[in-house]
Structure 1
Amino acid sequence: MVNKKYLLNNQDMSQFIANGYLLLKPDYPAGLHQTIKKRTEHIFESGDPGNRILEQVPELYEIFDHPVVKGTLQSIIGLNYIMQPHRNCHVNMPDSKGQGWHQDGTPRKFQGWNHPWRRHHRSRMAMAFYYPQDVSTEIGPTAILPGTQYYDALNDTESMPGLPICGEAGTIAIVHYEIWHRASANLSSDKRYMMKFLFHRTEEPKEPSWNLDIGSADLWNQIGSTNDIDITRHPILWKSLWNWYCNQNDDSAVSQPDTLDVHQLVQELDQKAEVAERMEATYKLGTIGKAAITPIMDQLNNGISEQNSLNLSAALSAIGGPAVPVLTDMLRHDSDWWKRACAADTLGDIGKDAKDSVQSLIEALDDESDWVRRNATNSLGIISESLEDTIPALIRAMEDAQPFVPINAIFALTKIRKSRPNDDSLFKDVEPAIHDGLNHQHERVSYYSNYALEQFNQI
């Protein structure tokens, strides 16, 4: 736990919720960034180290151990957060043309997988972009689109000015994992190095993890632009996420069904609608709550596209606990594997309020669909309840033939263990199972097993 003086305040947190990023400029020792840059340049002479950049440039530990960085991450993703084993150094070569706008984790083929991915609004993961050198607009900085972390598509990128992240060596941007970003064109003769690291929440919010000032909680009218870049305002969405971070329900936000056209809002979740309108409809349905569930489920059962199913699932996430029974029923009984996968994922996104679904998620680890099993494994790690049943089930999931499932199981067990450092008896069978994973035929499973054991040894 870091000193409270390094935690964010209300204004910082509300800006992160709305804009999706914060810029940090910690005071590091003189020469540290130059050392990191020189070592990185030397390593790249032999090829891209990929995930092993931290092992080969151990000075990077000092970057992320700084109390300003730790205080920011603790404020956003909670106590006991962990660094994810995937990280990379992105090199922007001289005279590069730059990239198109994208989100990380975009759909790609993996052993036949080529389906849309659900974008999650609640910050269970954050990214850090770190520069070991001075970066100006000429050298191809990473650019972001503030406020787009809740969008699964961009309707008009030409009219959306990006924000180039520039600054002296040691500049760090902490961003929402889902924010749209790109490498800008490098107009210089120098290589630009940017280290990207991922960090994960290990437990759901119990209380605000920043310096909450009760007297200034209503900040939404102050938010709307940053650095002269306007963003679309989503006050209902922002307030919903603020309440999630605070682990509180806001009964005053609940709308009566007759004040909003529920069926019209459901129609506005169609992927053909403007993305900003879809976000508004999603969280308006969330404020309606239980009365919106039947119209949403009717639409889900109406033969809609996979992407539209994800949009409807996001609305069920916004509704939260009241949607758990219908999602559990869908997971257990629906004949469509895609809808079962959506249900498993959405139950995890709802979090602790979905604790009654744990046994159904455990049963889903035997589902015939790889993707249902993958999502169920991830959700069990988020909900983290009924551990006397959940932990043995996740150990068994490590034997799954689909690599994504044991990877998720290992990571779920790691998060649960880090969130319960004093409950040794619960985890007596976990480390032997993860040791077995070191010899797994799939390289990523072996890599994640080694990572998990390192995390366990830090407890």
Structure 2
Amino acid sequence: MAVNGPTLLTDEQMRQFITQGYLILKTDFSQEFHEHLTEQLNEVYRNEGNPGNNLLPRIRELQRVFDHPVIDGALTSVLGPNYMMHSHRHGHYNAVNTPGDWHKDSYWGYQRMRNHHPWWAMIMYFPQDTPIELGPTGVFPGTQNYETRTFTKDEVEDEVLASGEAGTFALIHYDIWHRSTPNLLGQPRYMLKFEFMRTTYPTRPSWDHHDAEWVLPETLNTPIARHDMLWKEMWNWLSGEIGSLSGTLSDDSESISALVTQLQGESEPLALNAAYELACRGGKGVNALLQALHHEEVTVSRIAAYGLSVSGRGAIEGLTASLDSDRPDTVTHAAFALGELGYFASEAVTKLVSLLDHPAERVRREIVESLGMIGTPVDEVISGLVRGLQDDDVQVRFMAGLAFTRLGSAGAPAVPHLEDVLDDDNRYVRAHALEALRYIGTDQAKDLLIHRLMNDRWCSTTTPANAFYP
């Protein structure tokens, strides 16, 4: 097995990931390693059931998988070197001969505005040889940016199956449409799903980068539509350039009018293309997107927010003003776009914090996430996130804790407030607070983290059949 640090993705692999939303890769563990791993999975699932979020401590060798240079390198390339393994993970067991439904994963039961930029990714790892007949996971290429299922049953021939030898895994954009496929052999098939989050904005490419300019991949596997502007913006964003599209196309009124019509049409892929093109057309394009943000159709408002989220500084004033809307959807979409614009949106933080009294939970949830992404002025951001930790809504609380992971050591003043929620009834509020303490990383945070983890420590070999003795 390779030992020389992470194996970073190439420019070509990154181009494939940006366009198609997935890569199929493979580790080089021995067959014996995977046989032993599968034996442990069989024993645990047979005698104890699915260990859920305790998958790693229950099957301790599994950590070696996520320390592997190919997996670490793939995640570093897409999410940056400070990526976080989320506390939710799941070992999927499939032994049925019927396909699962096409779906996007929720965020632990939480429906939220989904990011086009890769703030989130998943690893789907197959510890056994998984031929097509054993029911590997299927993904639909290029669907990571679509809220709706834009393909039909007749288009399933374009599905890509994550089949291969033991050690094969799919690196996927968190929001890609996927499903389980029929297990025709009836033998145990495991897929170990782990989630990962980016904790910082990219400031430079984090993959094996040589080509400065965006070009299409050698093989373009996106059967539904092309999204040239979206893909170019994604490449630039991952290279550390925020708002790179602004002003790159002409702002003639005829083109803008045609794009507005397309933005309001029924085709989500075409509407997305229109939103990103409007982001390129200077102040007139931004104004058109801001008007669409207030459109009576929620879908039009949402897609306009994606265009505004890549429009650069020119969108900040209008987005901040849109926070005064009496429509919760418009406020949510404006807050999302401001968060995606990062430190550009620092002038909006005071207004965002004032909305933490908003009656709509979905608004407050989006506010705390955006505050963590903007990050400055840090005192106001911390004040707002602490209020989020104390919110009545559990999802506001766990998103506030997760937002603190993006502040790093600057979040140190919040350590006592994070300690207060370590006994919250919700597992993800507790888990996100622990992660926040880890990323803050001060002596006070680490002492509290160690104390809590020692109190909560769990013996991974204690089972009903092995309660006390070796």
Scaled by the length of structure 2, the TM-score of the pair is 0.86
Q: Give the structure 2 partner of residue 321 of structure 1.
A: 313
Q: Give the structure 2 partner of residue 84 of structure 1.
A: 86
Distance in 2 of aligned mates of 1:131 and 1:251? 39
Q: Give the structure 2 partner of residue 420 of structure 1.
A: none
Taking structure 1 as reference, are residues 21 and 443 closer, same or farther at Cα in structure 2, changes over 3 Å only? closer
1:120 to 103, 115, 123: 115
Q: Give the structure 2 partner of residue 205 of structure 1.
A: 202
Q: How far is 1:395 from its partner?
A: 2.0
Q: Give the structure 1 partner of residue 220 of structure 2.
A: 224
Letter in 1 for 2:199: T
1:390 aligns with 2:392: no
Structure 2, unaligned runs of 5 or more: 451-470
Q: How far is 1:441 from its partner?
A: 3.1
Listed one character per residue, the Cα deviations across residues 231-262 of structure 1 (whole Å, up to 9, x for unaligned) are 63222211111111112365697111217521
Q: How far is 1:349 from its partner?
A: 2.0
2:415 to 402, 413, 431: 431
Contact 2:293 2:333 (C-alpha < 8 Å) held by counterparts: no
Q: Give the structure 2 partner of residue 339 of structure 1.
A: 330
Listed one character per residue, the Cα deviations across residues 383-410 of structure 1 (whole Å, up to 9, x for unaligned) are 2222232123312321111001110111
Taking structure 1 as reference, are residues 413 and 251 closer, same or farther at Cα in structure 2, changes over 3 Å only? closer
**Matched-pair identity in %:** 33
Q: Give the structure 1 partner of residue 458 of structure 2.
A: none
Q: Give the structure 1 partner of residue 11 of structure 2.
A: 10
Taking structure 1 as reference, are residues 151 and 412 closer, same or farther at Cα in structure 2, changes over 3 Å only? same
Distance in 2 of aligned mates of 1:446 and 1:283? 38
Q: How far is 1:316 from its partner?
A: 1.3
Contact 1:135 1:192 (C-alpha < 8 Å) held by counterparts: yes
Q: How far is 1:107 from its partner?
A: 11
Q: How far is 1:3 from its partner?
A: 5.9
Contact 1:204 1:352 (C-alpha < 8 Å) held by counterparts: no
Distance in 2 of aligned mates of 1:223 and 1:318? 26
2:290 to 286, 290, 297: 297
Taking structure 1 as reference, are residues 137 and 404 closer, same or farther at Cα in structure 2, changes over 3 Å only? same
Letter in 1 for 2:235: W
Taking structure 1 as reference, are residues 262 and 223 closer, same or farther at Cα in structure 2, changes over 3 Å only? farther
Contact 1:146 1:163 (C-alpha < 8 Å) held by counterparts: yes
Scaled by the length of structure 1, the TM-score of the pair is 0.88
Q: Give the structure 2 partner of residue 104 of structure 1.
A: 105
Contact 1:92 1:192 (C-alpha < 8 Å) held by counterparts: yes
Q: Which stretch of structure 1 is more off in the superposition, 175-184 or 448-457?
A: 448-457
Taking structure 1 as reference, are residues 281 and 386 closer, same or farther at Cα in structure 2, changes over 3 Å only? same
Distance in 1 of aligned mates of 2:395 and 2:259? 35
Q: How far is 1:62 from its partner?
A: 0.7
Q: How does 1:337-376 map to 2 (within 5 A)?
A: 337-376=328-367
Contact 1:92 1:140 (C-alpha < 8 Å) held by counterparts: yes
Q: How does 1:49-448 map to 2 (within 5 A)?
A: 49-95=51-97, 97-105=98-106, 117-157=112-152, 158-160=154-156, 161-214=158-211, 217-220=213-216, 222-225=218-221, 230=223, 232-248=225-241, 250=244, 254-258=248-252, 261-270=255-264, 273-302=266-295, 304-331=296-323, 333-417=324-408, 423=409, 426-448=410-432
Contact 2:88 2:194 (C-alpha < 8 Å) held by counterparts: yes
Contact 1:344 1:379 (C-alpha < 8 Å) held by counterparts: yes
Taking structure 1 as reference, are residues 4 and 39 closer, same or farther at Cα in structure 2, changes over 3 Å only? closer
Contact 1:11 1:219 (C-alpha < 8 Å) held by counterparts: no
Taking structure 1 as reference, are residues 35 and 288 closer, same or farther at Cα in structure 2, changes over 3 Å only? same
Q: How does 1:22-37 map to 2 (within 5 A)?
A: 22-37=23-38
Q: Name the SS for the 1:220 alignment partner.
A: coil
Q: How far is 1:75 from its partner?
A: 1.0
Contact 2:88 2:108 (C-alpha < 8 Å) held by counterparts: no
Taking structure 1 as reference, are residues 223 and 257 closer, same or farther at Cα in structure 2, changes over 3 Å only? farther
Contact 1:347 1:354 (C-alpha < 8 Å) held by counterparts: yes
Taking structure 1 as reference, are residues 9 and 159 closer, same or farther at Cα in structure 2, changes over 3 Å only? same
Taking structure 1 as reference, are residues 169 and 254 closer, same or farther at Cα in structure 2, changes over 3 Å only? same
Q: How far is 1:298 from its partner?
A: 2.7
Contact 1:285 1:318 (C-alpha < 8 Å) held by counterparts: no
Contact 1:224 1:232 (C-alpha < 8 Å) held by counterparts: no
Q: How far is 1:443 from its partner?
A: 4.1
Distance in 2 of aligned mates of 1:284 and 1:23? 31
Letter in 2 for 1:440: D
Listed one character per residue, the Cα deviations across residues 146-180 of structure 1 (whole Å, up to 9, x for unaligned) are 11112222333222420011011111111111111
Letter in 1 for 2:266: A
Letter in 2 for 1:300: L
Q: Which stretch of structure 1 is more off in the superposition, 442-451 or 128-137?
A: 442-451
Distance in 2 of aligned mates of 1:284 and 1:372? 27
Q: Name the SS for the 1:219 alignment partner.
A: coil
Contact 1:4 1:211 (C-alpha < 8 Å) held by counterparts: no
Contact 1:154 1:275 (C-alpha < 8 Å) held by counterparts: no
Q: How far is 1:436 from its partner?
A: 1.9
Q: Give the structure 2 partner of residue 113 of structure 1.
A: none
Taking structure 1 as reference, are residues 83 and 213 closer, same or farther at Cα in structure 2, changes over 3 Å only? same
Distance in 2 of aligned mates of 1:250 and 1:344? 20
Distance in 2 of aligned mates of 1:32 and 1:140? 22
Letter in 2 for 1:278: A
Listed one character per residue, the Cα deviations across residues 95-120 of structure 1 (whole Å, up to 9, x for unaligned) are 2x111221112897x7xxxxx74332
Distance in 2 of aligned mates of 1:33 and 1:57? 12
Q: Name the SS for the 1:6 alignment partner.
A: coil
Contact 2:293 2:301 (C-alpha < 8 Å) held by counterparts: yes
Contact 1:83 1:197 (C-alpha < 8 Å) held by counterparts: yes
Structure 1, unaligned runs of 5 or more: 111-115, 418-422
Q: How far is 1:267 from its partner?
A: 2.5
